[in-house]
Amino acid sequence: MKLTIAREAWLSALQMAYGAVDRKQAVPILGNLLIEATPGKVAVWGTDLEIEVSATASADVQVEGKTTIPARKLWEIWRSLPPGSVAEISAAGGRATIRSGPTRFSLTTLEPEGFPLTQGFEALVTVTLPATELKTLLERVHFAMAQQDVRYYLNGLLLEVGEGRLRAVGADGHRLALCDAKLVGNQGEILQAIVPRKAVGEVMRLGYGEAQEATLEIGAQALRVTTGDLRLVARLIEGRFPEYQRVIPDPEVWDKHVLVEREELRQALSRAAILANERYRSVRLSVTSGRLGIQSENAEHEQVEEDLEVDYEGPPIVIGFNVGYLIDAVSAIPGERVRLCLNDDNSSCLLLAETETACRYVVMPMRL
């Protein structure tokens, strides 16, 4: 194998493939990237057996072939090359050589036949949407996923396709985030898939051009996302996601609605978080007609208080929440104003934009 390629032409492709590699992998071949040179292009794969990322870039290929090169070393070598430089990569006899200007690197390779590629993927449903919409959808809900929960199905993100929409749902037992993206022409039955946390992060890192489309394919055991020259295949989490519809009903179910400027609320909550209890991260919300009071206190009895003007007419409510959960939700909501929906001093809180319901967030209350 022998090819010549510009540093910038391969930089993002290598970065994406390297992101799928498990840094602590005990199996040597999984610490390598698979490189394959074919006429006019070079493809690279990285995998940890749960996620596989592949990317293709244009190259001047003199000799076709394939090999596997240590992932961390190749990535660090490539990003260390001077901007604008061109490198020659060749592989033969168990060694790979990278030449760029006066610099020459020699690396040990492993046989490409031992590299585990995904085989036999069969899609049950395929949808296409603007790549930026897919990224935005995931960004607005990913933070609500659980981390290392014994309820393993919460350690991922639910993707639901059907009825003309792609829905993403994240939950950790204390909060829930839901966001919809409209699809053209997909009116079939609803299909659900639970995508692992790492795969969600890698999909969000995919290179998204302004005009690019993303193709999302869901199979019985795997998910495949393709955008431009990048492709990701991820093994799905087995199990059944909780019936989130019971947790996040329509806004009309809540009888007390508070309208507040989104950025003012986000900044006030961020200030309250400075002196929130380090263990419980609690903040007290006091709602009265035309006013929202925000208060937090730490173990040393240091306090912060702030009042915001709001649109609200009704009985007073005093309720506690995890301030970090509120900040995450408020930061993700689109639009200039946020609607907080409550029932009483012990109810959960529904947060959403003033005029649309595509993205909704539920936060459970805390005992004050």
Question: Which percentage of the chain shows pLDDT scores above 70?
Answer: 98
* Structural fold of domain 123-246: DNA Polymerase III; Chain A, domain 2 (3.10.150)
Rounded Cα distance between 368 and 365, Å, is 9
22 confidence band (pLDDT: 50, 70, 90):
confident
- Tell me if residue 293 falls in helix, strand or coil: strand
Backbone angles phi, psi at 155, to 5 degrees: -85, 25
- The mean per-residue pLDDT over the stretch 203-220 comes to 83
Closest listed residue to residue 360, CA positions, set 345, 344, 343, 338: 338
Where do the CATH 3.10.150.10 domains begin and end in the chain? Answer: 2-114, 123-246, 251-363
Q: Do 50 and 78 contact (CB within 8 A), yes or no?
A: no
Q: Indicate the pTM of the whole model.
A: 0.91
Q: pLDDT value at position 211?
A: 58
Query: Each residue of 137-164: pLDDT tens digit?
Result: 999 999 999 998 889 999 999 999 998 9
Rounded Cα distance between 234 and 106, Å, is 32
Q: Do 185 and 107 contact (CB within 8 A), yes or no?
A: no
Mean pLDDT, the chain, whole residue set: 94
Query: Each residue of 318-335: pLDDT tens digit?
Result: 999 999 999 999 999 999
Query: Each residue of 227-264: pLDDT tens digit?
Result: 989 999 999 999 999 999 988 877 778 889 999 999 99
* Structural fold of domain 251-363: DNA Polymerase III; Chain A, domain 2 (3.10.150)
Query: Each residue of 47-95: pLDDT tens digit?
Result: 999 999 999 999 999 999 999 999 999 999 999 999 999 999 999 999 9
Query: In the CATH scheme, what architecture does the domain 2-114 have?
Result: Roll (3.10)
Two tokens at 47?
């995998």
Q: pLDDT value at position 26?
A: 83
- Tell me if residue 198 falls in helix, strand or coil: helix
Closest listed residue to residue 298, CA positions, set 278, 316, 314: 278
Q: pLDDT value at position 25?
A: 78
Rounded Cα distance between 348 and 351, Å, is 10
Output 367 or 341, whichever has higher pLDDT. Answer: 341
Residue 187 has pLDDT above 70, yes or no: no
- Tokens 């020259």: give the residue: 229
Residue 206 has pLDDT above 90, yes or no: no
